[in-house]
Structure formats: C-alpha cells, structure tokens
Structure 1
Amino acid sequence: MTTSGDTEIAIETGDDVVRVRQAVRTVAGAARLSLVDQTKVVTAASELARNTLVYGGGGVARVKEVTDERGRSGVRIMFRDEGPGIADLDLALTDGWTSGQGLGLGLTGARRLVDAFDLETAVGVGTTVTVTKWRR
C-alpha cells in the first residue's frame, strides 16, 4: 500500500473539527470516492474528531490518501489523543450506545460508515482510532 502526504490537524477547538471535516472532504474527493462515500467518511470523521475533542481533551488528526495493492484509492484518517482512554470499551462499542454529547452515532455508527476501523485505547494513556474508506 502506498500513501500520499499526511495532512495533520490539531484538534483543540470546535473550529478544528470543521477543519478536519474539510480536509477529509478534500482528500476523499482527490481519491475519487463517490459523493455518498465522501459523505459517509466525512460524517465518521466528524464524530471521531468531536470525540477526540470532548472525551480526549483534544489531540490530532492525520488525513491521507492511500492506495492498496490492487491500485484502489481511499482515504485514511487517524485520530489520537492523550486523554483518559475508554474505560469500558465493550460498552462504547455497543450498537446504539452514545454518551449523548456527539452526533448520536457513537463509535459503532462511525465504524459502520467506513470500510476499516481500528481502535486502541488504554486508561490513563489515551486513544487512537484509525479509519479507512475505499473507492468502490
């Protein structure tokens, strides 16, 4: 798999969440994702960026265009924070569960909108979520 250059965005305010959305939309367009898939990945990124801000106390997003071994293009976004971590990962990944502070998608909603979803968390250390959406 190959990748183009990363766009790194600090997530410290609500305006930064908007900047993440804009960067994801730009890269998804460059990767020639359909409008529907662009909307899905932007929506997932918005939820995850908001989670990074609200629950992680801020962090960073890295957005990049990727190409798999078959030449298929896509967009990969990594969100990282050094917040409290997720104490009950099973609960956080339960369908329909939301803290009531985000878009109402929760992590499972964001996971359903993308093709690949990876979450690493440790209490007291932080959380990293990486998602990928491929061109169809």
Structure 2
Amino acid sequence: MNGVLVDTSVWIEYFRGNPDFINPGLQLIEEGNAYSLEVVFAELAQGAKHKKEVTFIMEFFSNMKLLDYPGLTFSAGIYSQENKLIHHGVGLIDAMIILCAKTYDLKIWTLDNKIKRYIGYDMNFSTKDYFG
C-alpha cells in the first residue's frame, strides 16, 4: 500500500480516543503510511475548544507527513471546477484532499459520505480491508 490521506473527520475521532480509529491510526502512523494536509490541521485547530487542544494539535502537526505543495489550493479549485465537485457537495478543502490523493496515488480515510460517493470504492480506505 502506498499510503492513506487522513481526513479531518477521522482525525477528530482519533483525537477523541475512539478505539475504532486509535489502533488503525497508530499502525498507519508507525508504518509511515499516514499522510495529511496543513489545511486539515487548520480545520482541527479551528474547532479546538481550548488552548490545551490547540497545543496538542500543533505538536501532532509538527510530526505529521504533509503533502502540501505550492499551488495546491489553486490546482484544487481548477480540479473542482473541471469535475463539477461543487455539484456533488464537495467543497474546496475536500477537493484538495481528493486531488492530493490522486496525485500521490493514496487512499482517503474519511467519514464524509460526499467524498466517499465521489471517489468510489477504489480510493476509499477501509480499516476492514487493510487490517482484516
């Protein structure tokens, strides 16, 4: 497996200590197969309830494998426009996630049904498929 781009919705469950996400998340991180984007961690920071959560997110972010590259946001806007993602209910941040996953040949681990419907089975990461 090349790796997994982890969406905000999954990180939220991971940070909440949800056992369905902790063990698979830890394994992906330990194997070097977990990736993210700066904007995903910006969403997490935006939703933090207090300074302690922000500090935790910042520390985690500083050790995360990020896939950001210059022009990503604009490229995602073009990709979204060309593929009419807005008509699928997929916003710009999700378009960035999808574009990066396609660019780096990664699966996407998300709880967002709009993303799942758009990317289909081949790009959707399932812990059942990965961990048995």
Check whether TM > 0.5.
no
Relative contact order (C-alpha < 8 Å, sep 6+): which is higher? 2
The structure with the greater share of residues assigned to helix is 2
Structure-2-length-normalised TM-score:
0.27
The structure with the greater share of residues assigned to strand is 1
